[in-house]
Structure 1
Amino acid sequence: MKLAKGEMPEPSDAEARRAIRPVICYPVDSLVPPDLASYRAAREGWEKVGEVVVPPRDARTFEVPAGSFFRIVSVEGPQVGDLDLWAADNINERFFSGKTRALHGTHLSTGDRLWSCLPYLRPMATITQDTLNWYGFDQYGGSVHDVIGTRCDPYTHKLLSGQDYHHCCHSNLTRALAERMKRPLAEVEPAVHDVLNVFMCTGFTRDTGQYFMKASPVRPGDFLEFFAEIDLLGALSACPGGDCSTEHSSDAAACHPLLVEIYRPEAPPVGWTSPERNAYRGGHGA
């Protein structure tokens, strides 16, 4: 077969090279796993101390003290949410989706942790219950609660469609954070970052390797529950894609609200302490 200009021929040992076994980049055997039994025991007698309703195609912020729990709940119909987290007293410390993906995989569930960015790199929250953990990975390689996508944004939408749309998750989160911080939109926008795509069902196509989405399996009453390892400021956007079965970044999809519930336990989990920032002190070999 004639090769296109610039295309390289397959080497004679191509199959042998493809057959090399992979190596896990970041083995996590040295990490102390969360004591889920202790976390779950702490829920006994807990008190619901707050809730926030996130309207469709919009976002809201919320705060969770260290040692408390919060849930993101489906309340009316299938709906995907984009979750951002920051340290409550320092928005420079924020959720690091890339390192979380490297440590736990492309999709998160019970027992996985959401890690903060460098130079802090510590657990921000631990997933303590997931009512969609039955889904696993489907025949297309899809699963729920991904950390592989970013968040729908008006810049990519403009690039691909030529149109302006103001209720992408990036814009929703920016408005919510600006309102919470009482600061201009342009000032807080750089603090809005890659998200945990709650309830979203996603994967990569096996032929082209493209990021795909499909109808979320979430039902009213389903929830994703977290334990706050540090004092948290959160923001959640109810994605304009609804269940993300067709498209996002438009008003075409049916959308529903999401609910954030915050619970305070009578006592913290046995043996639990809020994690300190990462012990590396930044010499960088200088």
Structure 2
Amino acid sequence: MTTDAATTGSSLTDAAYQGPALEVDHVLYGAIAHEGGRTLVEKFEIPVRSGRAWEVPAGHVCRIVTVEGPQVGDLNIWNRHNPRERFWAARTRQLQAAHVTTFDRLWSTLPYLRPLATITADTLESYGVDAEGGRVHDTLGTRCDPYVNRLLTGADFDFHCHSNLTRAVRPFGLTEFDVHDVLNVFQCTGLNDRDQYFMKSCPATPGDHFELFAEQDLLMALSTCPGGDLSVPLWGPDAHDPIEVCHPIGIEVYKLDDAVLAGWSAPTSPAYGGGHGLRAQPWE
């Protein structure tokens, strides 16, 4: 038996993952985004072609800022107390979108599967979709790394995002094996008509920002991509060192007043029993 999508109110291209658990309280998170009721507790800049890790306690807001000009940042996030719980780009693509913005959530890995952070502000949200299908804040791609650079060019380079993140997390007892697929903040990407990943010039201007509300105690790490604003190809016949289009990225962490957080509670994991079929089946 077939079902006509028109009669069911759904479409074959509707989101595959749907349900009340994915709904976000726009009133609560809209209030969190309001710049009143917050106190700046930490502020620093990440220089070009480097990385830094920092803590964001639950109930705080982290703002990522293009302080001087367009610049792509590769972001990793972990539960501060358990680095096995970390950002899961693939599931975030499915539950939210391939490019994320205000009110989207960044989800953690199994078996935890809960929001690490919720996006509360995005000054590039109005960019939308450009003529080539490009969008910003990408979960499609991952960090550049010295291994793929060696593969494509035959040369070593120690300041790709993977290496920058590896150096950044060492003070927190983490290693290269803890660095994971990223959220490419301020990066404009898409899929071309051959279903291949493309990158475009970053559309950010000085002062643009992207804000995350910490749903848990978090460790964040960000690399200022060595490609800068990605207006110069990193690989291929037109590639050359794009140092002239690299800029620092600013980080600001804010503590919210208790009144702003009224009604908020930390997320919990799905209450799956955890059997994985390893016990006897009920029909056996």
Please indicate, yes or no, whether the TM-score normalized by the shorter chain is above 0.5: yes
Q: Counterpart of 1:205 in structure 2: which amino acid?
A: N
How much has 1:238 moved relative to structure 2?
Answer: 0.5
Structure 1 residue ranges (4+ consecutive) displaced by more than 4 angstroms after TM superposition: none
1:200 aligns with 2:187: yes
CA contact (8 A) 2:29 2:103 kept: no
CA distance in 1, matches of 2:158, 2:69: 23
* Match of residue 9 from structure 1: none
CA RMSD after TM alignment: 1.6
Q: CA deviation at 1:47?
A: 0.2
Cα distance in 2 for residues equivalent to 1:281 and 1:262: 37
Percentage identity across paired residues of the two chains: 51
Asked if structure 2 preserves the Cα contact closer than 8 Å seen for 1:52 and 1:60, the reply is no
Find out whether 1:262 has 2:248 as its counterpart: no
User: Partner of 2:187: helix, strand, or coil?
Assistant: strand
2:4 corresponding residue in structure 1: none
CA distance in 2 between partners of 1:177 and 1:36 (Å): 33
Identify which of 109, 119, 126 aligns with 1:134: 126
- 2:66–2:204 CA contact under 8 A, matched in 1: yes
1:116-175 Cα distance to aligned partner (Å, 9 max, x none): 001100000000010000111111110000000011001111111111010000000001
Which runs of no fewer than 5 residues in structure 2 stay unpaired?
A: 1-10, 279-284
Superposed displacement of residue 32, structure 1: 4.8
Q: Against the structure 1 CA distance between its residues 130 and 25, is the aligned structure 2 distance closer, same or farther, given a 3 Å change threshold? A: closer
- Aligned twin of 1:68: 60
Q: Is 1:101–2:93 an aligned residue pair?
A: yes
Normalised to the residue count of structure 1, the TM-score between the two structures is 0.87
The SS at the match of 1:134 is helix
| Aligned-residue offset at 1:34 | 2.1
* 8 A contact 1:36–1:128 mirrored in 2: no
Cα deviation, residue 35, structure 1: 1.8
**One-letter code of the match for 1:264?**
K
1:213 to 179, 186, 199: 199
TM-score of the superposed pair, with normalisation by structure 2 = 0.87
- Give 2:220's aligned amino acid: G
Structure 1 residue 38 displacement after superposition: 1.7
Aligned with residue 158 of structure 1, among 138, 150, 157: 150
Give secondary structure in 1 for the equivalent of 2:222.
Answer: strand
Name the CA distance, whole Å, in 2 between partners of 1:24 and 1:190.
36
Partner Cα separation in structure 1 for residue 15 and residue 272 of structure 2: 20
Separation of aligned partners in 2, 1:32 and 1:103: 7
Whole-Å separation in 2 of the counterparts to 1:248 and 1:228: 33
* Shift of residue 105, structure 1, vs aligned partner: 1.5
